[in-house]
Amino acid sequence: MDKNRKIYLDNNATTPVDPRVVEAMLPYFHDIPGNPASRNHPFGWAAEEGVDYAREQIANLINVDPKEIIFTSGATEADNLALKGVFEMYASKGNHIITCKTEHKAVLDSCKKIEKMGGVVTYLDVKEDGLIDLEQLEAAITDKTILISVMWANNETGVIQPMKEIGDICKKHGVLFMSDATQAVGKISVDPKAVGVHLLAFSAHKMYGPKGVGALFVNRKNPRVKVTAQIDGGGHERGMRSGTLNVPGIVGFGKAAEIARNEMAQDAERLSKLRDKLESTLMHNLEETYINGNVDHRMPHVTNMSFKHVEGEGLMMTFNQNMAVSSGSACTSASLEPSYVLVALGLGDDLAHSSIRFSLGRFTTEEDVDFAIDALTKGVTHMRDLSPIWEMYKEGVDLTIFEWSGH
């Protein structure tokens, strides 16, 4: 094994920027220095042209009108703008929002803030496979409900929610529908209008574009949706998001969208085969290995697996000099907490702590996957060989009597 080899299987955390994207961005750092808001000289016009073109490339990717794209600093800001912006704009209609326990923190923490501002938020449970229950969703709607926010695809498990069915429920009850589609846009077909989504948040750096730029799609017709600005200033982006536009970032985002539109089908096909190889080989090599989340409704490049009786953070230490993945534990100031997403799926602390997320990407090769298979097989075997719990399990001792204490 090459000791200097570095394998990146953490593409759900962020993706490398595609070299074609870097190339498209370069002129906008120096050669085209203008501010697109400078309407009275060619420098400004050139920058504006770059932004306009990117807006079209991005709109084409999700099949919307370029006027419906509001640029932000990323998906976190887009989520904040959608949730708080709708809450403020539609205050006279109601104060109730419905979302889901497995949402990204950008949504959950925005909802917490909204509760402090007098809003009422319902956090739906998910089923064991990570999907929401549509009957529970419909039953949660009241005459005060203004917005339903459900993510397109989950960042930890890759599970894809039934967007069309949720959209139909929203339509039936006259409720706005928002989706954090950060993990889906550019990887699978995302067409918000076709499924009745009125607000869609996404980010360049999860689709081979640069960090620090994202967008919110806001439906302009039938219905005309408005959000109250959360950042005030010069009235950029149709008054919904002030601030000088990140021109190189936006140009790169546009290029990333164009590439994704052309290549996502072939990327998805290639990556799902590699993902399936990774999964099936690990399941074959290692007993007591489980896949978390629905395997029929999920992103093609992601798998979240639990290796029972192996602590995920410790497992990662056996290979993290050479390979990046993500564990189902989150470091808080005091302790290691199991992922709230996996807990919401009903995983016990032990299985949540023993989980690893592999997220493949455009630049993942079969050799990378073979390396991962080898590293995980060795790492898990090594950890289990050292583990008294594993020994007891092999001897048939009932382990349910032990409480997990991973701290």
Ligand X SMILES: *Cc1c(COP(=O)(O)O)cnc(C)c1O
Binding-site size for ligand X (CB under 6 A) equals: 14
> To which residue do tokens 């991005």 refer?
58
Three-class DSSP category at 236? coil
- Cα distances from 5 to residues 36, 291, 333, in angstroms, run 42, 27, 32
**Interacting residue with ligand X among 34, 36, 74, 192 (CB under 6 A):** 74
Contact call for residue 76 and ligand X (CB under 6 A): yes
Q: Shortest approach of ligand X to residue 153 CB, angstroms?
A: 8
Residue among 182, 289, 354, 359 that touches ligand X (CB under 6 A):
182
Straight-line distance from the first to the last Cα atom of the chain, in angstroms, rounded to the nearest whole number: 33
Q: In this structure, what DSSP letter does residue 211 have? A: T
Choose between 306 and 326: whose C-beta lies nearer to ligand X. Answer: 326
Q: Pick the closer one to ligand X by CB: 8 or 371.
A: 8
Residues 145-164: x where in contact with ligand X by CB under 6 A, - otherwise, as a string: ------x---x---------
Q: How far apart are CA 165 and CA 152, in angstroms?
A: 12
Residue 178 CB-half CA count within 13 A: 33
Query: What is the number of other CB atoms lying within 10 angstroms of the CB of residue 365?
Result: 12
HEC string of 179-198?
A: EECCCCECCECCCHHHHCCC
Q: Which stretch binds ligand X (CB under 6 A): 178-186, 298-306, 318-326, 339-347?
A: 178-186
How much of the chain is helix, strand and coil, in % rounded to 5? 45, 15, 40
- Closer of 74 and 130 to ligand X (Cβ): 74
- Residues of span 88-147 touching ligand X by CB under 6 A: 104, 106
Residue 243 CB, shortest distance to ligand X, in Å, is 15
Q: Which is nearer to ligand X, 255 or 357 (CB)?
A: 357
By three-state DSSP, how is residue 155 classified? coil
Of positions 11, 102, 203, 339, contacts ligand X by CB under 6 A? 203
Please state the closest distance from residue 41 (CB atom) to ligand X, in A.
32
By the rule CB under 6 A, 11 interacts with ligand X: no
Cβ 66 to ligand X shortest distance, Å: 20
Which residue's beta carbon is nearest to the bound ligand X? 74
> Least distance to ligand X from the beta carbon of 376, Å?
23
* Residue number, 151 or 316, with CB nearest to ligand X: 151
Q: Are strands 323-324 and 7-8 parallel, antiparallel or unpaired?
A: parallel
Q: State the amino acid at position 382 in one-letter form.
A: H
Tell whether residue 304 is a contact of ligand X (CB under 6 A): no
Provide the 3-class DSSP secondary structure of residue 64: coil
The residue range among 73-81, 239-247, 353-361, 365-373 that interacts with ligand X, by the rule CB under 6 A, is 73-81
Minimum gap (Å) between residue 183 Cβ and ligand X = 5
Q: Which of 69, 75, 256, 315 binds ligand X (CB under 6 A)?
A: 75
What is the crossing angle of helices 247-285 and 366-385, to 10°? 50
Whether 188 and 264 have beta carbons less than 8 Å apart is answered as yes
Dihedral sign for Cα atoms in the order 155, 188, 359, 310: positive
Distance (Å, rounded) from C-alpha 380 to C-alpha 307?
7
Give the shortest CB-109-to-ligand X separation in angstroms.
Answer: 11
Rounded CA-CA distance 178/223 in Å is 13
**Judged by CB under 6 A, which stretch of 71-79, 157-165, 251-259, 280-288 contacts ligand X?**
71-79
Candidates 93-101, 201-209, 263-271, 335-343; binding stretch for ligand X (CB under 6 A): 201-209
Given a contact cutoff of 8 angstroms between Cβ atoms, the answer to whether 9 and 364 are in contact is yes
- Pick one of 214, 248, 252, 338: the residue that binds ligand X (CB under 6 A): 214
* Catalytic residue set: 331
Give the pair of three-digit tokens for residue 337.
């907490």
Instruction: State the residues that interact with ligand X by CB under 6 A.
Output: 74-76, 104, 106, 151, 155, 180, 182-183, 203, 205-206, 214
